[in-house]
Structure 1
Amino acid sequence: MTMQHADTATEVKTFVNAENLLNEWVGHRRLTRRVIEAFPEDILFTYRVGTMRTFADMMKELLDIGAPGIKGIVTDKWENNGFSEHTFTPEQKNKAYLLEQWDLATEEIINWFARISEARFQETVVAFGAYEGQVFSTILYFIDNEIHHRAQGYVYLRSLGIEPPAFWNRN
């Protein structure tokens, strides 16, 4: 990309391209999946620390935001508000279902992300009809939110005497 400033043209190198950003996010999703796997199924949907939600409810929030958010960025159609009540039906309250949904959402993220043009990253969106920002910052919010809730999962696991996955290993 070349930018004009005064009477000179300078080359601006991109800090991170779309492919690398997606790869980083998918790495975070692999790690978050391992945190879900580490939870004992009998408490995944019930265990709380203080006033925090269950880890499963936090993961449902991420399911409600990640793939629908990327689809909204691509289509400019926001099918949910992304921040509604994040709950499961009784039939959905099992680890296998949560992991299946996690995997499906990751595939959706990968597929929709590939449709974002480089120019689109600089455009402004109103995510879920309420949160205005540039596309790149909105995506970074989705990733930051996942990291935040995964960290809460680490606290839960440690409080249960379970060693969480290495935080640095996103392979």
Structure 2
Amino acid sequence: MTTTTTTETMPFVSTENFLNEWLGHRRLTRRVIEAFPEDKLFDYSIGGMRPFAEMMKEIIDIAGPGIRGIATDNWENASGFDQHSLNKEDRTKEGLLKLWDQSTEVIIAFWPEISEARFQEVVLAFGQYEGPVYSTILYFIDNEIHHRAQGTVYLRSLGIEPPAFWNRD
């Protein structure tokens, strides 16, 4: 006699909690942008690193379009990992924060369209990077954290106390 046992697989974290964790990082990164003096946000650099605004434009170009691509499987017109430049009208702190907020709104709008099963599927993000959806999203988040840390170093070098890294409220 053979007995078969079926075990239901539960995700480590719910999709709602996954999104909320990311949104906490986005709130913290927004505070780092806000902490920059406007005259340093677009031009200040250390050791050959890009100015913080360029790093943030990269995150803007990846996050919203990336989630839209994952949700719709349509990667057309998604700038992704291409050149990250700001239009003249966006080269202010206010303009950059506006783009940041719009990107966050895209994430929130498209997130519910990603099914639980979709997180396990393999995608070719931006037509270049193949991997499971959950891993691709973790890359988006890791990249944001990495660049936020660079911004934190910039702020400290300018004598500005950065927002607490642990406070994502």
CA distance in structure 2 between the partners assigned to 1:127 and 1:107 by the alignment? 20
Q: Calculate the aligned-residue CA RMSD, in Å.
A: 1.1
- Counterparts in 2 of 1:81 and 1:92: CA distance versus 1, 3 Å: closer
2:146 is aligned to 148
CA distance in structure 2 between the partners assigned to 1:169 and 1:36 by the alignment? 15
1:101 is aligned to 99
CA distance in structure 1 between the partners assigned to 2:73 and 2:7 by the alignment? 33
1:7 is aligned to 4
Large movers: runs of 4+ above 2 Å: none
Matches within 5 A, 1:74-113: 74-78=71-75, 79-113=77-111
Amino acid at match of 2:140: F
Unmatched segments (≥5 aa) in structure 1: 1-5
SS of alignment partner, residue 8 of structure 1 = coil
Unmatched segments (≥5 aa) in structure 2: none
1:133 is aligned to 131
TM-score (norm: length of structure 2): 0.95
CA distance in structure 2 between the partners assigned to 1:71 and 1:11 by the alignment? 29
Shift of 1:12: 2.8
Q: Equivalent of 1:114, from 112, 115, 126?
A: 112
- Contact (CA 8 Å) 1:157, 1:163: kept in 2 or not? yes
- Contact (CA 8 Å) 1:59, 1:149: kept in 2 or not? yes
CA deviation string 1:77-129 (max 9, x = no partner): 11234111111122221000011111111111011011100010111100000
